């Protein structure tokens, strides 16, 4: 594996110390280096890479987080219990949160962070992500960590690959995380922020635990009071003291400069708005990706003299709200539906005005969670037989520690932030607690405990919804459901797997011995003559090409007291499922029992899209739940009547 960055020849070509950035030796043989253009072209014949010209390597020796993302995710997973007085933290004062204590998911864990994506390394962010993260993971494996939180990852489409299975040996995170799993490490990853349109699942490998993001039962809100006394509820984080003043309103479209594209102006893109029209007014801008757009929007609005910003969702974003954590301007965020009310008012008068009220924190809101709009959705295009994401965790408006580096993008001890990056460390914290409770469990057993105890229900007892609050969410949005840490501590049964099970999974993709050596260099392994991926002992069950009959085999290990478990099936519409046997009797701990699911249907009368169900094993105390996902094979003949 080779990573490289090309630059013009402005150094001694014989001085290798200027070239090598990383040398990977513990997990696989690879290097990352800065090469001149001729050297890069030569190596490009071996491996395709991204090259950016006129770059320099200037890594400062500071390990400090200069962006905030790493501090936020680390403190979410394992931050110690810290009492915070309201006046000691701007974040809590601004959000009207009284004296509290903050802590991570596993507060007594010993944590270690590895700096990645160095801003000081003046190269492509994509290359930096790969080089630094691989070095970090290799170091973590060597340091003997128990859990790795990987709040990043690359998304591959089938157009990027000659065959879907090529992902597993082309993606560096896939290879490195496999070796981490071999070393007994639980790897927790984020599914990505490329929703809401499926399928854009990141980190699809079965040996990692892939996490989606949902909302929580806490809102940071304010009201927008319009000049006609209409009131619109909005999401808002920070603001200066309110002077209870109405200000003129102007939309990005109305503020555009001559010749600017109307759509671009409505999104308040740089160099599309007239500062003279905007100065001293509240600017109304449409956003495409919630909090991912908001910081750039407020920077632009500040630059051209706006007094505040109202961000409005487009139709795709719907109802998910992401208050802006940027402190530059008073900023409020409203839903697509409320945006129609706002624009109707603006268009109804020649002098529209509005004011924003102070931020309020509201807790125990319902329903929660809903699947966040930005959270990447399935199905898994790399291996459709593996359901991804695996579970959902809190990922919207999560308050955690922030970088204290004076050069950080924002200043403050704590900040609310949103993303699947925020969801993954919640699960990493749970995994760390499980590792402490059960030090001899495999990573697969820990994954299973978290997956099979998750719930697809929200806090109102109903099926979880998408962010539009109209459509019910599916396992492609939340996996098995919202994680439940207390239940995961006592799962009853687990779907366990060995390293060889995962290698058999790779064998099913027909890799040759040279490719398999990337994963099995420590020991020799011979692939079985045939492998059925459907029988991988995964905690979820997915049949993506159902032809009317199929069978799936699984094994469950008892990790509790002796008990008898009975099966309960909720079959997808139009499909019959028989469980053999439908009762599992365990007489001692660590006993494994095998069972089979037999699926049958008149496939000609099945819907062509994915259908969902579930399998539950219960002894009256434990509930061991697996999602079932089925898609009928495309028909070649007309429907029978």
Task: Kindly report the pTM of this predicted structure.
Answer: 0.86
260 CB neighbour count, 10 Å cutoff? 17
pLDDT of amino acid 294: 63
The last residue of one of the domains, among 336, 362, 388, is 362
pLDDT of amino acid 69: 86
Q: Please report how the helices 420-437 and 443-452 are oriented relative to each other, as an axis angle in degrees rounded to 10.
A: 120
Query: Are the C-beta atoms of 388 and 194 separated by less than 8 Å?
Result: no
Give domain status of residue 515, yes or no.
no
Question: Which domain does 580 fall in, by range?
Answer: 536-640
**pLDDT tens sequence across 297-322:** 778 888 999 998 999 988 877 777 76
319 CB neighbour count, 10 Å cutoff? 19
**pLDDT tens sequence across 396-436:** 989 888 877 766 656 667 888 889 999 999 999 999 999 99
Is 80 exceeded by the pLDDT of residue 600? yes
pLDDT of amino acid 196: 81
Give domain status of residue 395, yes or no.
no
Strands (E), 113-208: 147-150, 186-190
Give domain status of residue 121, yes or no.
no
- The H or E element that residue 420 is part of is helix 420-437
Give domain status of residue 464, yes or no.
no
The last residue of one of the domains, among 55, 76, 91, is 55
**Would you give the distance in Å from CA 611 to the centre of its chain?**
23
Q: Kindly report the CA angle at 500 between 497 and 503, in degrees rounded to 5?
A: 110
Q: What is the CATH number of the domain that holds 599?
A: 2.60.40.2310
Q: Which two tokens stand for residue 330?
A: 């008073």
Q: Kindly report the CA angle at 548 between 542 and 554, in degrees rounded to 5?
A: 40
pLDDT-derived band at 9, boundaries 50, 70, 90: very low
Query: Are the C-beta atoms of 497 and 447 separated by less than 8 Å?
Result: no
pLDDT-derived band at 480, boundaries 50, 70, 90: very high
pLDDT-derived band at 160, boundaries 50, 70, 90: confident
pLDDT of amino acid 446: 98
pLDDT-derived band at 592, boundaries 50, 70, 90: very high
Give domain status of residue 92, yes or no.
no
| Domain count of the fold of the chain | 3
Cα dist. 105→75, 382, 486 in Å?
8, 31, 12
pLDDT of amino acid 68: 82
Buried b (16+ CB within 10 A) or exposed e, 454-473: bbbebeeeeebbbbbeeeeb
Residues 160 and 251: their CA atoms lie apart, in Å, by 40
Give domain status of residue 474, yes or no.
no
Q: What is the rounded average pLDDT of the residues 33-52?
A: 51
pLDDT of amino acid 252: 94
pLDDT of amino acid 54: 35
Instruction: Please state, rounded to an integer, the average pLDDT across all residues of the chain.
Output: 83
pLDDT-derived band at 326, boundaries 50, 70, 90: low
Give domain status of residue 454, yes or no.
no
Question: Between 406 and 392, whose confidence is greater?
Answer: 392
**pLDDT tens sequence across 536-562:** 999 999 999 999 999 999 999 999 999
The last residue of one of the domains, among 312, 339, 362, is 362
Give domain status of residue 581, yes or no.
yes
pLDDT of amino acid 471: 86
**Would you give the distance in Å from CA 638 to the centre of its chain?**
40
pLDDT of amino acid 256: 94
**pLDDT tens sequence across 126-153:** 555 677 788 888 889 999 999 999 998 7
């Amino acid at each position: 594996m080779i990573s490289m960055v090309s630059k013009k020849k402005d150094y001694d070509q014989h001085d290798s110390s200027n070239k090598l950035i990383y040398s990977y030796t513990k997990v696989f043989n690879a290097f990352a280096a800065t090469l001149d253009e001729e050297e890069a072209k030569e190596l490009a014949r071996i491996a395709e890479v991204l090259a950016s010209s006129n770059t320099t390597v200037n890594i400062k020796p500071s390990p400090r987080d200069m962006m905030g993302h790493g501090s936020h995710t680390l403190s979410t997973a394992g931050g110690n219990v810290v009492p915070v007085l309201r006046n000691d933290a701007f974040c809590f004062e601004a959000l009207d949160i009284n004296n509290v204590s903050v802590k991570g998911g596993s507060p007594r864990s010993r944590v270690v962070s590895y700096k990645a994506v160095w801003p000081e390394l003046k190269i492509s962010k994509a290359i930096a992500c790969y080089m630094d993260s691989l070095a970090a993971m290799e170091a973590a494996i060597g340091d003997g960590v128990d859990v790795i939180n990987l709040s990043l990852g690359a998304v591959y489409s089938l157009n990027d690959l000659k065959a879907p299975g090529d992902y597993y040996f082309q993606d560096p995170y896939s290879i490195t995380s496999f070796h981490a799993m071999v070393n007994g490490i639980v790897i927790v990853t984020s599914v990505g922020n490329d929703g809401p349109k499926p399928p854009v699942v990141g980190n699809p490998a079965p040996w990692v635990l892939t996490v989606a993001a949902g909302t929580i039962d806490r809102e940071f809100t304010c009201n927008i009071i319009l000049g006609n006394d209409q009131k619109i509820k909005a999401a808002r984080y920070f603001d200066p003291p309110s002077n209870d003043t109405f200000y003129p309103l102007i939309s990005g479209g109305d503020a555009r400069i001559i010749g600017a594209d109307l759509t671009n102006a409505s999104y308040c893109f740089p160099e599309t708005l007239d500062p003279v029209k905007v100065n001293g007014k509240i600017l109304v801008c449409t956003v495409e990706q919630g909090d991912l757009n908001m910081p750039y929007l407020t920077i632009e609005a500040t630059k051209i003299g706006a007094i505040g910003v109202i961000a409005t969702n487009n139709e795709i974003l719907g109802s998910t709200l992401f208050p802006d954590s940027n402190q530059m301007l008073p900023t409020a965020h409203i839903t697509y539906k409320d945006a129609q009310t706002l624009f109707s008012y603006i268009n109804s008068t020649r002098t529209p005005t509005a004011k924003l009220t102070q931020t309020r924190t509201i807790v125990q809101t319902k329903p929660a969670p809903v699947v966040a709009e930005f959270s990447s959705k399935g199905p898994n295009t790399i291996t459709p037989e593996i359901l991804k994401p695996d579970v959902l965790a809190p990922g919207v408006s999560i308050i955690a520690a922030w970088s204290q580096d004076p050069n950080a993008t924002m200043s403050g001890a704590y900040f609310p932030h949103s993303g699947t990056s925020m969801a993954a460390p919640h699960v990493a914290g749970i995994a760390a607690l499980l590792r402490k409770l059960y030090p001899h469990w495999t990573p697969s057993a820990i994954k299973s405990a978290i997956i099979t105890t998750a719930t697809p229900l929200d806090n109102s007892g109903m099926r979880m919804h998408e962010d539009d609050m109209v459509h019910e969410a599916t396992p492609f949005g939340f996996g098995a459901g919202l994680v439940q840490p207390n239940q995961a501590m006592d799962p009853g049964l687990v779907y366990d797997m060995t390293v060889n099970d995962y290698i058999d999974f790779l064998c099913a993709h027909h890799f040759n011995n040279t490719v398999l050596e990337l994963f099995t260099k420590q020991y020799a392994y011979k692939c079985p003559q045939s492998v059925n991926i459907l029988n991988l002992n995964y905690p979820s069950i997915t049949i993506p090409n159902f032809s009317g009959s199929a069978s799936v085999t699984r094994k469950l290990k008892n990790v509790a007291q002796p008990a008898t478990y009975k099966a309960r099936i909720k079959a997808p519409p139009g499909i019959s499922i028989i469980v053999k046997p439908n009762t599992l009797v365990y007489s001692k701990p660590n006993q494994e029992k095998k069972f089979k699911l037999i699926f049958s249907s008149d496939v000609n009368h099945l819907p062509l899209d994915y259908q969902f169900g579930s399998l539950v094993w219960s002894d009256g105390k434990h509930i061991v739940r697996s999602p079932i996902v089925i898609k009928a094979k495309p028909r070649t003949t007309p429907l029978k009547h």
